[in-house]
Chains A and B, each alone.
Chain A
C-alpha cells in the first residue's frame, strides 16, 4: 500500500504527454478536412492577390488582378491570330514531342531490358541524366537547323524520353518470378512474351512514365520557345514581357497553368482507369 502511493507520488509530476507527431492524424482541424483546407488556402491566395492589386499596393506595371488576367485569357482563346500563331503551334509541338518521347522511351527500355550489357552501360548515365541541363544543346541545334520547330522538338524529346525509359524499365522488372517461370514453361516467344506479359505487367509503371513524359514535353516545348523562337505560347509570354504588355503576359501565364493543370488531371484520370494495380 505504502509502495503504491509512493510510486504514484513520483509518477504524477512527470506526466507523459505524447508528442503530436506520434498521435494519429486528426480527421479535421477546426471542423474542416484536409481537402477543404487545400481549397480554402488556394482561394485565400487568389483573393489576396486580387485585393492587393485592386488596392493599388503594387503598381499595375508589376501585377494585375487575377480577374483581369482571367478576362484577358478568355479573350485570347477566342482571338484567331493568337490561336494560329501561338496556341496551335505549341500544342502541336507538345503532341509530337510526347508521341515521339513515349515510343522512343518504351523502345529504349525494351532494348535495355533485353541486353544486359546495354543496361549496365546505360543505367549510370540515365541516373544522372536529369542533372545535365539538356537545354544547353539548344544553341548548337539552333545554329545547325535554324530557329524553328526542329531544334525545339529535338531538345524536348531529349528532355522527355529518359523519364519514360526509367519508369518503363522499373515496370519490366516488376514481373513476378512465378509468371516468368510460367512463361518459360509455356515456351513463349519474345514477341508473345512482350505482348502478353511484359507490357500488361508493366502498364501501370509505363503509364506513370508517360504522365511524367507529358509534363516534361510541355516544359521542354515552352522553355525552348521562351528562350528563343518566333512562335508559340512560350514566345508569346517572353514577347509580352519584353514589350511591357503586363496583362497579356499574365494572361498567357494563366492560360499555360490552366492547360498544364487540365492535362495533368486528365492524364491522372486516364492512368487511374488503366492501372490494374489500384483496382
Chain B
C-alpha cells in the first residue's frame, strides 16, 4: 500500500508576519520557512504505519516552485521514500491544490492520502475534503487516532461534540489533528541519506481557468483599542459580571 503525504511550505509559525504595504499579500521574504506543522503530523503517522508494516511506501508531494524542494528533502530526511515536486505557480487556493493532487494520486496509484487538516498560512481547512470529493473517495477529517486492518481504517475524529469513531473503507483521504502524534526529528544520518532519495519534478497545469476566486486585498488586522489596567478584584468583577450572565 502506498501513501501520499502532501506537504506545504509555510512561514515558521513562531515568527511574526508582516502584511505588504500595497495590500497584495504577506511578505514572506527573508522569513524562515518550514513544513506546515499539521503536515508534519500526517507524515509522522504515515511513518508509523510503515514501521508497523501496514503500508509499504510513502511519497511526499509539494506544489509550488523549486524552493519547495527544501520542504520535500526534510520529508525525505524524516523517512519518506520518495518526493514529488509539482511545479505550478497558477494554483492559489485549496481547490487548485486539490485538483493537482488528484492528478498525482491517480498517477501514483496511491491507496491513501494523509495530510494536515489545514495549512497555517491560508487556514482554509479544505484541501483534504476537496481532494476526497474529486477522487470520489471517502474521507475522515481531524483524526486523532488511526488503525488500518485489511483495507478498512478505524479512526477517531475530533468534533465539536466529542470524539467520533468512524470506520472508513480504503482508498480514502485522512486529514490529521494535533493530538494524533508527536512528530520525530530528522537525525543527521537520515538528512545525509535523504540526499540520495528520489525527488521527481512533475509539471502539471490546471485544466481550467483558475480565476473563480480572486484575492482583492490583504490587510493587517484592526488593532485592538488600548485596554484598561484595573486596580482591584472589585473593579474587575464590576466590569465582567454583566458579560458573564446575559
Do A and B interact?
Answer: no
